[in-house]
Amino acid sequence: MKIALERLQKVLAGSGIGSRRYCEDLIRAGRVRVDGKVATLGMKVDPAKNLICVDGRKFTVSQGHVCLIVNKPKGYVSTVKDPQGRPKVTDLIHIPGVRLFPVGRLDYQTSGLILLTNDGELAYLLTHPKYGIWKTYHALVKGIPCPKALNRLREGVPLPEGKTAPARVKLLKELPGSQALLEISLREGKKRQVRKMCRYVGHPVVELKRVKLAFLTLKGLRTGEYRFLTQEEIKRLKDLARRKKNEHAPKIENCKLFEQKN
């Protein structure tokens, strides 16, 4: 029986090396070899037959994909390596034979919901902006934002990396000491975005916690705890991302004409 070959970056990402984009960067940098030769982006392989090495180490295909939801504490970085030697969110979990990586990032001082997985496809679907997955944060800020400030957050604010997309913003409560608790939901993930948005409207963040991603919440998880996602939850996440992409895709009225042009 003929084995269907798969693109090298997909094989690497699907077995826990990292996101597909990260695996593409590894290949471009010449850090991946197939049967002793430097790999090229887009080449197809059979991981059961081809000898694949990453940074000189033999690559083995994971026997299955897993995904965990973690209630990340403050003081942990959401990377697999840290030059400063700080605690990593991956230090909280050890599964023999399985290499996990974070899906997206929460900065060092931000706590809350983050996913760890060895499923590169899932990570890509949940982090690429074109899939528009909602992420919800609770932000304790200085001062009490006025309606105008809240509307500016909702409509988008100019940052050095570009104007932020429209967001969902609620004032949950006003607190003693001239502080307020905001709920902010985003469909994008610029670096330290919530903190930058709040600072821009004059209400710097004091504490920040991610409380929801798509339909997932931290219910039942104390700080530092985790649980495995069910296969049904994983399927639902992937279906949701693909549906979101299709909602934003241009409609093709004349399929025959499209086929002729392609």
When computed from its CA atoms, the radius of gyration of the chain, rounded to whole angstroms, is 21
Nearest to 214 by CA among 117, 89, 103, 92: 103
Q: Is the dihedral of CA 210, 216, 218, 221 positive or negative?
A: negative
Q: What is the distance, to the nearest Å, from the Cα of residue 47 to the centroid of all Cα atoms in its chain? A: 26
Q: How far apart are CA 14 and CA 121, in angstroms?
A: 6
Helix, strand, coil shares of the chain, percent, nearest 5, are 30, 30, 45
184 exposure class (CB count in 10 Å sphere: 0-12, 13-18, 19+) = buried
Question: Which amino acids are annotated catalytic?
Answer: 107
The residues with which 227 forms a beta bridge, in sequence order, are: 69
